[in-house]
């Protein structure tokens, strides 16, 4: 759920150098809430909120997503569900169904891969695409983006917004300004002017702490920021950070797309009822998400070699880390051990509001004829996988998550 500021004055196409356009940022509009509207057509034209979990007929927790009608009542992500209902008592609320949302996300990514293999997934509802070579197949980059957005809406019932630019920074800023359900292009010859027309808090990568530090120097707008020299910014911040801020103020971004192979991924993430500093509490949720994800992995007949952990903090900043294993695995113990290690490396001490784990580089497993005789002296991955298979069969038999690995 995008919280960036949007200005009607900048909601237009910028520049004339259309040959410079190659990077697209696509952001699904109010993703969870829109999905609920799509599968509950009777909610069209009404305020819809997705958030929390159902406890005794009452939704507990926080708002994960609200449609634009609900946002007019001040509803935003992270707000307690009770507060959201007070502000908008006629809103129709749905508990978060992350498994379903993940499936819709996977279908959206299948559509993206029909247009280009050069994709960087950014979150469950955001993606960067390199469409620089698509003209012969899909027309201009503008026309290609229109086709992508139309196909997603037609097949999934979800609207999305897109920014088209020369680099990732400007593309993401443009997609925010294009919301809801629109697209904008910012050519290289107008990128600097576009960025400097935005408020400081709109700039991707400049969070509250950085803004506060800049405000101590009298910097409250991107235009003022752009007037500072590189040397000055490197004195205020560390050398690398100062250079990054300097480039952002001038619409520059040299970062490349972290290309993801077009393979299926399986994952789950959870937004906490209450944001927390407690690592043990976060790890407990990470274990739960790992077990849910491994259950799906077994049901779909896959093993994995790539494990990713995602963290969202109370200020809505995100961190993610992945590791590719030499050997494919499919058991909770092995996967959680890696996920926990990734979390320990990522965690920066801030309040956590969401934790997630996803598995990719999936490989099909032949279920028949590959089981060896079990031995109590067998150790390592194979023993773990046999135990996991037995757990999966028991849980499937009784249609409940009765047995846990750990």
Domains of the chain, residue spans: 31-98, 266-398
Residues 6+ apart with CB under 8 A from 38: 156, 157, 158
Q: How confident is the model at residue 375 (pLDDT cuts 50, 70, 90)?
A: very low
- Residue 382: is its pLDDT beyond 60? no
Measured torsion, CA atoms of residues 5, 10, 15, 18, in degrees rounded to the nearest 10: 60
Active-site residue (options: 120, 126, 166, 270):
126
Q: What strands lie across the sheet with 318-329, from one edge to the other?
A: 266-276, 352-364, 302-313, 318-329
Mean pLDDT of 165-175: 96
Average pLDDT of the chain to the nearest whole number:
86
Would the pLDDT of 55 be above 70? yes
Q: What is the predicted pLDDT for the residue at 251?
A: 95
Residue 267: CB atoms within 10 A of its CB come to 25
| pLDDT (0 to 100) of residue 378 | 36
Give the pLDDT confidence score for residue 207 in this predicted structure: 83
Tell me what pLDDT residue 396 has: 55
Q: If you average pLDDT over residues 290-311, what whole number do you get?
A: 90
pLDDT of residue 371: 39
Residue positions counted in the chain: 406
CA distance 225 to 191: 15
148-175: average pLDDT: 97
Q: Which helix (H) or strand (E) holds 266?
A: strand 266-276
Instruction: Out of 4-13, 76-85, 126-135, 287-296, pick the least confident.
Output: 4-13
Q: How confident is the model at residue 388 (pLDDT cuts 50, 70, 90)?
A: low
Class of domain 266-398 as given by CATH: alpha beta
H-type alpha helices, 253-351 = 279-299, 332-346
395's CB contacts (< 8 A; 6+ apart) are: 295, 401, 402, 403
Helix orientation angle between 31-39 and 98-115, rounded to the nearest 10 degrees: 100
Residue 392 has pLDDT above 80, yes or no: no
Residue-level pLDDT at 38 = 95
Predicted local distance difference test score (pLDDT) of residue 263? 53
The CA radius of gyration of the chain, in Å to the nearest whole number, is: 23
Decide if 126 is catalytic: yes
- The pLDDT value recorded for residue 85 is 94
Q: What CATH number has the domain spanning 31-98?
A: 3.40.1170.60
């Amino acid at each position: 759920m995008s919280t960036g500021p949007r200005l009607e004055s900048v909601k237009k196409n910028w520049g004339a150098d259309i040959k410079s356009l190659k990077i697209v940022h696509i952001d699904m509009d109010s993703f969870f809430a829109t999905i609920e509207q799509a599968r509950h057509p009777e909610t069209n034209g009404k305020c819809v909120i997705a958030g929390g979990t159902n406890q005794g007929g009452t939704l507990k927790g926080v708002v994960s997503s609200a449609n634009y009608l609900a946002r007019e009542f001040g509803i935003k992500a992270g707000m307690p569900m009770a507060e959201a209902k007070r502000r908008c008592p006629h809103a129709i609320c749905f508990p978060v169904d992350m498994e379903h949302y993940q499936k819709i996300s996977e279908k959206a990514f299948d559509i993206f891969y029909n247009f280009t293999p050069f994709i960087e997934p950014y979150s469950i509802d955001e993606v960067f695409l390199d469409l620089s070579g698509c003209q012969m197949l899909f027309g201009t980059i503008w026309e290609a983006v229109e086709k992508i957005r139309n196909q997603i809406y037609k097949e999934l019932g979800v609207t999305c917004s897109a920014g088209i630019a020369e680099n990732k920074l400007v593309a993401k800023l443009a997609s925010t300004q294009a919301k809801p359900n629109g697209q904008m292009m910012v050519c290289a010859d107008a990128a600097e002017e576009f960025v400097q027309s935005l408020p400081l808090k709109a700039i991707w990568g400049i969070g509250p702490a950085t803004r506060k530090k800049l405000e101590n120097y009298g910097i409250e707008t991107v235009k003022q920021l752009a007037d500072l020299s590189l040397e000055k910014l490197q004195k205020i911040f560390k050398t690398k950070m100062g250079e990054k801020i300097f480039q952002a103020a001038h619409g520059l971004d040299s970062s490349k797309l972290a290309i993801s192979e077009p393979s299926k991924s399986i994952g789950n993430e959870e937004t906490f009822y209450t944001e927390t500093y407690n690592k043990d509490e976060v790890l407990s949720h990470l274990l739960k998400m790992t077990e849910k994800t491994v259950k799906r992995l077994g049901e779909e007949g896959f093993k994995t070699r790539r494990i990713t952990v995602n963290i969202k903090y109370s200020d809505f900043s995100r961190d993610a880390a992945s590791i590719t294993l030499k050997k494919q695995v499919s058991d909770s113990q092995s996967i959680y051990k890696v996920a926990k290690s990734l979390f320990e490396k990522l965690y920066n001490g801030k309040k956590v509001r969401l934790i997630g784990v996803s598995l990719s580089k999936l490989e099909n497993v032949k279920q028949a004829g590959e089981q060896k005789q079990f031995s109590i002296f067998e150790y390592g991955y194979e023993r773990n996988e046999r135990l996991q298979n037995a757990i999966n069969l028991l849980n499937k038999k009784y249609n409940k998550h009765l047995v846990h690995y750990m």
